[in-house]
Amino acid sequence: NDAKVTAIAQMKNTGDSVYSQGRFLVRNDSSIKSAADLKGKKIALISPYGAGSYLAPRAFLAKNGLDIEEDVTVEYTKNLKKAAYMVLLGEADTAVMCEVNYEILSRRIDTGDLRFFDKTDAFPEAVMFTPRDVKSDIVVRFQEALLADNNSRSQAMNSLHKMKIGTFVPYDPTVEKRIQELSDQAGL
């Protein structure tokens, strides 16, 4: 195995799942009703590096006959709120955000002028990795801390819930299959 990292835990979101889906968010007055309506439009994505912030939306577009590099314009916002505001202000035609994050965001800002028109296929939530060459006792202690009973760290976990992190669970390598399926669908 040539991997330089080892997976030690994965996130379970506040929806109690290690998977989520991205939702395509538009203004209520938008003419966008389906994936076909995205051709030539501007999409606000959070980052070009995540399963939910890039891979799942790219796979969705490809599944619907659109190329993320040729058929749409993408702006990476680096910020969940900015993506929603870009849609609200008409600076982007749509934004893609994790459904759990949207629920959290909608408690903080008025999202009444927004609606969803579609969703991506499911993608795995974040996986915690450690460099393969780190001493194993440090890795074991870190992993044990991540997987510890959440009740004993309730104050810290309450803060993490604001970022959709429900808890951490042991790593399940089957999530790699889902990432590979999305990568294949996206043409990567």
- Report pTM: 0.82
Q: Which stretch of 54-68, 93-107, 149-163 has the lowest confidence by average pLDDT?
A: 149-163
What is the reported pLDDT for 137?
A: 84
pLDDT beyond 60 at 154: no
Element of type H or E holding 156? helix 154-161
Nearest to 19 by CA among 187, 181, 137, 144: 181
The number of beta carbons lying within 10 Å of the beta carbon of residue 112 is: 8
What is the reported pLDDT for 151?
A: 58
Handedness of CA 154, 143, 104, 19 (dihedral sign): negative
Q: Are 143 and 10 in contact (CB under 8 A)?
A: no
- The amino acid at 68: I
35-66 residue pLDDT tens: 999 999 999 999 998 888 899 999 999 999 99
Q: CB neighbours of 40 closer than 8 A, spacing ≥ 6?
A: 71, 72
What is the reported pLDDT for 176?
A: 86
